[in-house]
Amino acid sequence: MTPPNTGTDTRLPIVILISGSGSNLQAIIDATENDSLHADIRAVISNRSDAYGLERARQHGIKTAAIDHNDFADRASFDQALQNCIDQYQPQLIVLAGFMRILTETFVDHYQGRMVNIHPSLLPAYTGLNTHQRAIDAGDAEHGVSIHFVTNELDGGPVISQARVAIHAHDKAEDLAQRVLDQEHHLYPQTLEWFCQGRIRQQDNQAIFDGQPLHKPLDCTTESN
C-alpha cells in the first residue's frame, strides 16, 4: 500500500463497494462532509443497479457505477470488470461496505493490503451470514462488529478494530442488528480516518497501527450500545 500523503490539504482517495442500501456508505459520506474523515470518495460501485446506496452517492455528487454480476459467465470475469472499473479512479484504499460478493484470489491479491471490509461480529467469531441470530442462539453475552483487511480467507484477514454491544435477555436478531449497526456507523469512519492519517497498514498477515503490530483489535465501542 502506498503511504498516504498526510499533508493538511490532502485526502486519501478511496472507492467504496456496496450491494444494498448503503447505510455505512452514508456514515462515511457524512464524515467526509463534516471533515472528521479526510477521504476523497472517488466512486461508489455496486454489483446491483437497484442498490439504494448508488442513489445516496448521486445525491452527494459522487460518481457511481453498476456492474451486474449476472451479466458475466463466471466470478473471474466479473472480478476483472470490477477491477478495471475501480482502477480508473486510482484509489489508495478499497472499502467494502455491505458488498455481498465472494472475491477471487486474483482480485484480492491485486489489492492486498489496501482493501478493508466490515463484518457484523466480533471476529474470529461468526464468519459468514446470520451472525446476530447465531450469537443469540449461542447464549453469548456480547456481540459486535469488526473491520479487517481482506485476504483470501473469508472474513479471516487481520482485524483492525471492533466495537461491542451487550446482548440482552429478550433480544431478537433485528434488535441486536440495529444496535450493532449504530456502532458500525461510528466504527467505519473512525477506522478509515486512521488510514487517512497513515497510521494503519498491513504487513504480511498482521495489522500494524502506529508502527506496532496489533495484538488485539482497537476497541472503538461508543457508550450508546
pLDDT interval class at 6 (50, 70, 90): very low
Residue 133 inside a domain? The answer is no
Residue 201 inside a domain? The answer is yes
Domain count, the chain: 1
pLDDT of residue 224: 58
Q: What is the pLDDT of residues 18-32, one digit of tens each?
A: 999 999 999 999 999
Q: Which residues are annotated as catalytic?
A: 119
Residue 71 inside a domain? The answer is yes
Residue 222 inside a domain? The answer is no
pLDDT of residue 1: 40
End-to-end CA distance of the chain: 34
Over pLDDT 90: what percentage of the chain? Answer: 93
Q: What is the pLDDT of residues 77-130, one digit of tens each?
A: 999 999 999 999 999 999 999 999 999 999 999 999 999 999 999 999 999 999
Residue 155 inside a domain? The answer is yes
* 196-201 average pLDDT score: 97
Residue 164 inside a domain? The answer is no
Query: Can you give the pTM of this predicted structure?
Result: 0.94
pLDDT of residue 130: 96
Checking if the pLDDT of 143 tops 80, the result is: yes
Q: What is the pLDDT of residues 51-87, one digit of tens each?
A: 999 999 999 999 999 999 999 999 999 999 999 999 9
pLDDT of residue 225: 53
Q: Look up the CATH number of the domain holding residue 42.
A: 3.40.50.170
* 147-163 average pLDDT score: 97
pLDDT interval class at 207 (50, 70, 90): very high
What does pLDDT average to over the chain? 95
According to DSSP, the β-strands at 142-149 and 159-166 are: antiparallel
pLDDT of residue 2: 40
Distance from C-alpha of 146 to C-alpha of 112, rounded to nearest angstrom:
18
Cα torsion for 194, 196, 198, 199, to the nearest 10°? 0
In the numeric block, the cell 472499502 is attached to: 95
How would DSSP label each residue in 10-63? --EEEEEEESS--HHHHHHHHHHHTTSS-EEEEEEEES-TT-HHHHHHHHTT--
Higher pLDDT, 5 or 17: 17
Q: Give the domain range for residue 101.
A: 12-117+147-159+180-211
pLDDT of residue 186: 97
pLDDT of residue 10: 87
pLDDT of residue 7: 43
Residue 38 inside a domain? The answer is yes
